[in-house]
Structure 1
Amino acid sequence: MIEAPFISVVSPVYGCKGCLEDLVDRIAVAITPLGASFEVILVDDASPDGAWARIVELSETRPWLKGIRLSRNFGQHYAIAAGIENARGQQVVVMDCDLQDVPEEIPKLLKALSNDVSVAFGQRTERQDSTLKRLGSWAFYKALSWLTGVKQDHTTANFGAFDRKVIDTINSMPERERCFPLMVKWAGFRSAAVPVSHAQRTLGKSSYKFSRLLRLAIDIILSYSDKPLRLVVRMGIIFALMAFTMVILSVFRFIHGDIQVAGFTSIIASTWLVGGMMISCLGVVGLYVGKQFNDSKGRPYYIISERINE
C-alpha cells in the first residue's frame, strides 16, 4: 500500500491550459524545502481548451501529480469537492489554477496551521482584479454576511490551508449545493487570515460572467440562508398593516364627506402593487421549493470520468 502524502494541493482547472506546467512546478518548488511528502491534484472541470491532455502529459514525468477529469462542467466548487474528497494529505491546500493565487505563499499558509488553528485563509490585501469585480465581491459578501448572520470577508476566497479534520468535516456534509469557503466558515474551526500576494491573471479570461455570478450568488444565498423567506413574511405583515390603515382612513374620510366616489386610479394602483408583491413572494418560495426538489433526487454533485496516477 502506497503511503499517503502529508500535504495535498487541490486546484480546479478551467480555461488555464497554458499555465498548468508553471503552476505544478512552482508548487513543487515551494513545498519541497518543507521536507514533507506531497501530492498535487488537478481537477479538470471539462475545460474547453483541452487541459486534460496537458494534465496527462505533465503527470508522465511527475509521479506526485494526480489528475481527475469530470464528465462535464459542474462548476468550480464542485470541482473543489471532487479534489478534496480524493485528497489524502493531513494538510490540504486549495487554490485556483490561474496563478493569481501565488504558489510561493503556500509555505506561509501551512506554517499558520497549528494545534489551535485549523484553517488558514489567504487574505488578498491588494487584489489584482478590476474595480468592478472588487466592488461586486465586496457588495456580495456584505449582503451574504447580513443574510446568513455569519461575518464574511471579501478579501478571502478559496485559497488556504486546512487541517485534515476540517476536510473530513466538509466531506461529510450531505448538501448538494457546495461553496467551499462558506462551508469551512460554517464549520466553525478556529481560523487565521494570512496576508498573501495576489497576482494578475496572465492567461485566459475568467469564466465568471455577470449572469453566471448572479446565478451563483442566488444559489449560495438560497442554500445558506433562510432570511429571504423571513423577509417575505415581514413584507406580508407590513403590506397587511398598510392596507388595514388605508381602509380605516378611507372609511373615516367617507363618513366626513371627503370622499364622494371611490377613485379608479387608487384601486388599480393598489391591485397592481399587491399582485406584484404576491407574485414576488411566491417566486421566492418557489426557488426554495426547487432547491429542495433538486436535493431530493439524491444525485451526485460531480461525476468522475477519468483518473491518472491514482
Structure 2
Amino acid sequence: MKRRKLVGGLVLASGLIAAAAAFAAARLDRQHNTAQLAGSYTWRASPDWFGGFSGIELSADGAQMVVLSDRAHVARADIHRQDGEISEITLRSAQHLRTSKGRQLLGRIMDSEGLALAPDGSLYISFEGLSRVVHHQTEASRARVLPRPNEFRGLPLNKSLEALAIDPQGRLYTLPENALNADGEIPVWRWNGAQWSQPFTLPRRGGFLPVGADFGPDGRFYLLERNFVFIGFRSRLRRWDITEQGAINEVTLMESSTGVHDNLEGLSVWRDAKGLLRATMVSDDNFKALQRTELVEYTLPE
C-alpha cells in the first residue's frame, strides 16, 4: 500500500513538473514574441504650435527625429540619451506646411496625420480631412499632391488616411483609421510612384483602430493601433511580413492596459546601439492640459 502511494506520488510529482516545464516553455515562447518597455519621456516645449503629434520618424541611430502635428507643422529635434533611454529633447526647427500653391494650410484641409521619409530625405504626408497624400521636397517647399483614387474620395471625414509608411523599395502604404471594406477588414493602398493599388487588407481585431505605421529595418510592416474608452487610451502594436501574396505571419507585439500610455499615434521602428529593434511612439495630446506629449519606446523581438 505504501509503495503504491509512493509510486502514485512520484507519478503525480512528475506530471506536475512536466506541466510546470511546459508552462514555463510556453511563457518563454510568449515572451520571445512580446515587446518590452524600454522607457517613456514627457516632452514639453513652449511654442503655441507645439502638440498634437500624429507622425514621427527617427534617424537610423535614434539621435534625431522629425515629428508631424495634426495642425500641419513639421518639427525637427535632437534626442539625447542616457543608458539608451531618452533624457532630453532639443527642438531645432519647425515649419508650417504649405499647399501646392504656396499658401499655409488652414481649415479642414490641414488635418495632417501620417508621415513617411523617403530615402532622399523628402517627406510624404497623409491627411484625414480631405483624404490625400502629398509630397514635400522639404517641409518648407510647396506640396505636390499625389493622384486621388475614387476610394479616397469616398472615405469619411476624420476617419480616413491616418497611417503612412514607406517600404524598402520606396513604395508608399496608407490605410484609414475607421473605414472597413465590405468584408469588415482594413483596406491598404499602395503607391508605386505611378499609380495606387490595393494589394491586400489587414484583419481588424477588437476595438482597436489604426493610427500609425512603419516599415522597420527588418523589412516588416508594423501597425500602431488605438482603442479609446472614457477613462483613457489603450495601444496595440502588430507586425506582418509583406509578400506578393499579401500580409502574412501576423504577430501582436504589445497591447497596453487602459491609461498606461497617452494617446499614441506616431510610430518609428529602428535599431538601437545594441542591435535591438526598437519602436518609438509619440502621443497626440489633443492640445489639452490633462494630456501630455509622450515618447514611448519598446524593444522588439526579431
The answer, yes or no, to whether TM exceeds 0.5 is no
Q: TM-score, normalised by structure 2?
A: 0.24
Which has the larger strand fraction? 2
Q: TM-score, normalised by structure 1?
A: 0.24
Which has the larger helix fraction? 1
Between structure 1 and structure 2, the one with the greater Rg is 1
Q: Which has the higher contact order (CA 8 A, sep 6+)?
A: 1
